[in-house]
A and B are shown apart, each in its own frame.
Chain A
Amino acid sequence: MIDMAIKSSNGFIDKVMRYILNTWERTQLVICFVLVVLIAMSPLVIRSPYYIGIIILATLYAYIGITWNIVAGFTGQLLIAHIIFIAFGAYTTIVLQNKFGISPWIGLLASGVVAALLGVIVAFITLRYGLKMDYFGLFTIALMTALRSLFLKWDFVGGGIGMWVSLANTSFANMIFQHKEPYLYIALFLVVLGLFIQYRIYNSKMGRYFVAIREDEDAASALGVNTALYKTIAVVISATMAGIGGGFYVMYVTFIDPNQLFNLGLNVEMVMAAPIIGGLGSIAGPLLGALLNKPLAELIRGFLTVGTSGTSLIVYGTFLIVTILFLPRGIAGLLQNQYNKLRIRVYGEEKG
């Protein structure tokens, strides 16, 4: 069918296809753009708050996935417990609002800064003490566990009881809304921002240096890449963006506590699942993965009457296993194969 479309006498379609398929990066952007538009229009067709809620979470997970993609996908660093940045962001925003009456819109920026500082510390320690690969991953998990204990005992942030957003004061300035739709658009805005940042990084010297570090750190170093600097930059950018995401997360879910937040299960669901299934290191991966992941998990959970969170864990676990074994480059990888074939037909030649 696509063949026919291309061969049709309408040169316009051919021009459009040529434009879209020029590079795989651009094709991915177009795909993402279409998905974003679909998400934006979803409240027109979907009325049930329950389903809107799923879309909101999927959209947020896409954004968080993008933030992890930058450090784990682009530079290949095994920063497993990325959730600590989200947690710090969440606590910053809610503390600023509850204790100091500061609007979450400002709070989000503060969250970014706080998470960035944590990122600097993590990056510094890792590089200074040469924590490679598995050891880096374990370090982040240990840090997460230690932070959980600290927050459990820290009364200022609510300790084990947690903190919650008072739902009474609905207002735009407070980022507390009566209906779900505004949250969707904020999340969508974050995704668009994230995609933009991701794409700009990818296509730049910094992005290429990131990939070089992932592929072969020593070779990159021999070619003039200051690997320590760029690894730090990746962590900090990733952490900052994640912190902002955490700030929004708390405003949406309205309640957080250390056990729920500094949690590997949440880390898998919110941070890792989407980018991996979608394709770690690609541009469209996190969004594709999140849109497939979350709704599917909910759907399956809906079908089974027994067992609640058990089913979503089974779904996520299976997805991760299946992806690693059969689809190591994720959905984006699959699409890229199709892209290559399509490009030959449109352009008559190969392109990487």
Chain B
Amino acid sequence: MSVQIFFQMLVNGLFNGSIYALVAVGLTLIYGVLRITNFAHGEFLMLGIYVAYWAYTMLNIDPYLSIPIAIILVFIVGVLIQRFLVQKILDDHPMNQIVLLVGVSTLLVGLAQIFFGADPKSIHVPYETEVFTLVGLRFSIPRTVAFVASLIIASGLFSFLQFTKTGKAIRAVSQSRAAANLMGIDVKFIYLLTFGIGAAITAVGGVLLAPNTRMIPSIGSGYSVIAFVVVVLGTMGNFIGALVGGLIIGVVETFAGFFLGSDVKIVASMLIFILILLFKPEGLFGRKIG
């Protein structure tokens, strides 16, 4: 493999990874604050993709411009799911939580199949094959836009969490529900907000993916699994970890795709996942207890 190909793949990997990072940030946020593993997470990405599709085919809006629409719509969906479903089982046995979320996931996929059909869809933007070259590497326009957008949105969310009052409240709840309660924080509201944000940011990932991808209703499940890998790798609940982990997995996958073929490149991520679960379950940024 030549140096140029190596760097080209590195760049591609980072760009792909930025989307994984967004999805993982959403998942890790939900886990960090609500302490549940969102088994329906990939479906928020799926919703984002289909919002982009609908906006493009029905309203003739460029997919990237439909990001705000996706954010608003999926935020609302997330809040509704949290308010009426998830909130009820927050203190239940994990089996119940998993089953409920699997049920939500199944339902969402079914609804997508009804509204958009099970056959693959795609959207073709006029600039989708355009590239620009820099230092001898080729950068595809859609992917570059996706990468930049991911960075902007991730930084935006990070700033929100670090510097705003609400953001700090969210971080407080993720550290201790009881303490946050005592400090007068409306924990239920924070739960709603966090779930909504987590869903919305994942949907953004979906929108960014749209110009490149073959859209089917079950597309979410593959990204769900990758999101789990990233979140565990980057330590559950850790924002930066999710970003770093996403980029790592993106790169790993791209190289695995080169050596193993694209239909089985997922094996590499699964291998990493299994190794992490076995040998370093606290993730890259975690501390071992006891």
Contact = CB atoms under 8 A, between A and B. Distances in A.
Say whether A and B bind each other.
yes
A133 B94 contact: yes
A141 B267 contact: no
A253 interface: no
B103 A317 contact: yes
Interface stretch (A85-93, A146-154, A235-243): A146-154
A134 B99 CA distance: 12
Judged by DSSP, the binding face of B is: helix
B270 interface: yes
Interface string A151-170: 01100000010000000000
Interface stretch (A193-201, A287-295, A304-312): A304-312
B98 A314 contact: no
A316 interface: yes
B212 to A, nearest CB: 21
In this complex, the interface size class of chain A, counting residues with CB under 8 Å from chain B, is 35 or more
B118 interface: yes
A72 B37 contact: no
Interface stretch (A10-18, A94-102, A320-328): A320-328
Contacts of B109: 265, 313, 317
A312 B228 contact: no
B277 A272 contact: no
Interface in A119-156: 125, 129, 131, 133-135, 137-139, 141-143, 145-146, 149-150, 152-153
B225 interface: yes
14 contacts: A80-B98, A134-B94, A135-B277, A139-B274, A142-B225, A145-B270, A152-B264, A309-B110, A309-B113, A310-B113, A317-B105, A320-B100, A321-B85, A321-B104
Interface of A: 72, 76, 78, 80, 125, 129, 131, 133-135, 137-139, 141-143, 145-146, 149-150, 152-153, 160, 264-265, 268, 272, 276, 280, 306-321, 323-325, 328
Interface of B: 37, 85, 88-89, 92-96, 98-100, 102-114, 118, 217-218, 221, 225, 228-229, 232, 261, 263-264, 266-267, 270-271, 273-274, 277-279, 281
